[in-house]
Structure 1
């Protein structure tokens, strides 16, 4: 989806990147608008995936009205401008867009990860968040006022301790990974109208939908895709400005790393990197973590695959051929908890001690509970401490917590806790 004539896709290559539309040829005539023609939004471009966002940018505003009017004038059709999804571009689309801009109750169409163009009643004033991938950003932007319960596995609950206020107020209706306990759900003081999940489906989704709950699928898990997910979910609950401010934090971190690292290195100077998780899973180029390492200035060694990961078993020799400079391993532990770094490092590296990166002292372990922008900052520090400075990851982490979770722990100091474990930190204990 998202193809335009010539094969271009609305939105830039980086989260919240450059967007087309609304520009005038040569900049001479401000009245001339070049319509954007697209069948769908590109989730990896950081755009707001609400139909009616006719210029495929980050917000819904008067520029979209102008774009729709230009399409009407030219007699052209663009699916992303079709705010009411009736296969026509007309004044009804303008009315829907104006209602959404004015935060009036209406039917909103958004691009669902599983179901494509999908309608939902706007604004969403009652929802449940599935997993910390959804919960952390939605709480950070102020969405807890509309949240009726959540799901999080027991291990996740202790890990994402920044959500402690949520645990104290709301009810966890999770029984196992990606499953909602319907019995617990029925006992909630207020049944949520919507469930927001980060995956393409929940294990018992049909049963939930039959109970009258709408499931919203947005890719909160993908690095680039999560930006569009946060923008879109924030818009749904009437907190578009908060969501865009939150996303701006991500963009600022990436821009800072681009300035300090990427812009100063040739392609040959960039460190090659491989990422792994869940004991023996190797992230492909289109996986969850390799895009973060690339944003941190690394160069992925694996190609895109049919799946987002490959399994590596003891004795497999294919993995030895890559000769990567760094291996980034993602696992979770309590955000402010005390851990034994050497023990965590040893367990994480168990399958990977034959790799060049491990033997070179460049096997690094990261706490996967961190929001993506924080993970990227620690990865940049691991690979290029001479460019970003020692303590770069902690400084970004500190700023994030102070900005979005000020009540989490008023004495919080990122430097007092462990979010990245390098070989140098544990060498004497291995």
Structure 2
């Protein structure tokens, strides 16, 4: 069997290693450059690779192709493969049949990283031998090749879900759905929603689907479509007999048929309404996985949040600097601005994925005193907000952006990097953007 891997990053190299171990004839092809450390791993494992090109003769003879999530379906090589009827799948689909471990799949437009990390923390503290993979951490396929975990917590993007055929998580979570990546879905929101719900398409009556009952897109889909899985809702807006909700004494209550969990919201390590939801989803998973309640409570109080997600960097002259570089869409930035309690200088901008900034308008009026646009093309942001805030400045360097924000900010203010956009115009990725922000703040 010939396995061709498109993309020589973490998921690609991991898939190649697992494929090789399972006796496939493996070839890795990357249209860009492959990082040195990955080239070394491929060479050590005697796996042939190419970079900066796709040689058709070496690719179109595949039996199966694993495509990295970053490669769009529109790319010429993917179109050719599909025309030839060659199966193009994601890493998750390829690796899942090679493990007996329980998998927990978490998707959503926002909150999925925090929910994934929190779930992993709860299960690990509860003594389970658990792996963390998907969109985060080490490649799932690589771990399947090397480790024997009893369970995996997988953060799954819509792109990874587009590439599944038979994969099913035992427990699936959809944290929320808001317009994101619409450029990859022909600007059709319903296609993006359908993509998220692929997470439940193969689930059976013995599996679980945990969903946000306050989310309009989720509610609409469930009304018009069905899943065999047992649905467990959570809500911060209404009290639920079954599932997760908040009672009048401000406790989280999670009620799963005779199995009830309660904890005061103010004991949670993570702040903000959206994090109450993330905690409900993760706690529901921990209960289904039979983790002791005492352990769950303890773990929810000592959890450290995700890097680049509302991460407090430093306080300088009583101005708090916050790195929310992972906010690559409007909805994520909405959460960030919503959780600000002081006047805010907002650093925003990058590659716009068809963003509609209207929903941020009330929050910007209420909380934002100055805007620093950090991007190659800031036209849309400038037109939208120049008459709404006192100061709006454009820049194309992080160091300059932080210096300007520092000048605008006064004692008691917050400087928030929450770009609402992808980072590829000026940075390698959102991590690079967040690290540059932290360095620039440290230099002040």
TM-score computed with the length of structure 1 as normaliser? 0.29
| Larger strand proportion of the pair | 2
